[in-house]
Amino acid sequence: MKKRTTRQRLTGSLLAVAAGLAVFHSVDACTRVLWNDNELATVVGRTMDWPESTDPVLTVMPRGVERNGGLTGDVVTVEENPATWTSKYASMVTTIYGIGSADGFNERGLAGHMLYLNATDFGSRDPSKPGVQAGLWLQYVLDNAATVDEALELLDEIQVVMTEANGHQSNVHLAIEDASGDSAIVEYIDGEPVVHHDREYQIMTNDPTYDQQLELLAEQDFSNPSSDTPLPGNVKATDRFQRAAYYLEMLPEPEDEREAIAGILAIARNVSVPFGAPYKDFGIYNTEYRTAINLADRRYFFELTTSPNVIWADLTKFDLEDGAPVMTLDPDNIDLAGNVTASFMEAESAPF
């Protein structure tokens, strides 16, 4: 994989960046914010922005689940040399359309988030590499890796393959982080994987590509934020990227988990798109849900935008042994509030 390290940027000028911005697709979705420089715990939050329900289900999967990376639901997406594996680690995820995981983490404290990127190009199928349909890209990582370093090594061994669900193609890029605070952004551009790997890569939104987002961010100095700092206020991806970076610099040192999660969710709400926003006119999707993860203590927080309550669950309280049941919870329930660990129900089988 091509790798970019600390503060490396594209060699092209900002003029070229501006030209790229003029042509990228207008549909934007999602923001990820990683808070890895406080003394309490590595915490991360994201928004899921989409024009319809993605049928999110909170799902706990034990070790020992067998997967076939060539299946999108019941449809064979990768006919030749699909990747197959058995999960090494248990995980808690939010599913998307029942074909994969959009967000989540595993028992070792590795987390990941798939966000929309119109510029995605997975390239032509190379049957010499095991193929994983893009909906299972994150799940493959959570099943098999304990750290960002391990995840990046594993991703060298497979090829991610475009799939489709509910009429939408899987134009996605992947953000991963671990309990130590390490971070990486993985994008497929012009058929090749491009990796940005460093703790400093805390923010991710959508188009343009990550190199160009960093170029735009470099034009602003948010290291000493103040009320006089100019800040873009629109809902497009470039504005959300810079606004999230600005507010992340403002967060005070948390005294406990409650303050840490409150801080990261406050940023997620700030970069959210109002429910019911006219995406067909704006080219912007409204926020469906927000999540936050405490990677130190393995707790997952979830906030559906049509519900007044934040809910959370503790992965360490589930039976994660090989052979244990898959446990699920439908968050679209206005009566759910607070700690819902005991509200998960046994599923007949793993969703994928």
Is 30 among the catalytic positions? yes
Alpha helix (H) ranges present in 121-205?
A: 137-144, 148-155
- Please tell me the predicted confidence (pLDDT) of residue 1: 60
Choose the catalytic residue: 29, 30, 174, 340.
Answer: 30
Q: DSSP class of residue 251?
A: P
Helix, strand, coil percentages (3-state) for the chain, rounded to 5, are: 20, 30, 50
- Please tell me the predicted confidence (pLDDT) of residue 8: 39
With contact defined as beta carbons under 8 Å apart, do 163 and 77 qualify?
yes
- Please tell me the predicted confidence (pLDDT) of residue 53: 94
- Please tell me the predicted confidence (pLDDT) of residue 280: 62
When the candidates are 3.40.50.920, 2.30.29.30, 3.40.140.10, 3.60.60.10, the CATH number that belongs to 2-346 is: 3.60.60.10
Cα dist. 29→125, 234, 273, 289 in Å?
26, 13, 9, 12
Which among 275, 262, 248 has a CA at the least distance from the CA of 33? 248
- Please tell me the predicted confidence (pLDDT) of residue 24: 36
φ/ψ of 63, rounded to 5, equals -65, 155
Residue 77 class from Cβ within 10 Å (0-12 exposed, 13-18 middle, 19+ buried)?
buried
Q: Which residues of the chain have pLDDT under 70?
A: 1-28, 278-283
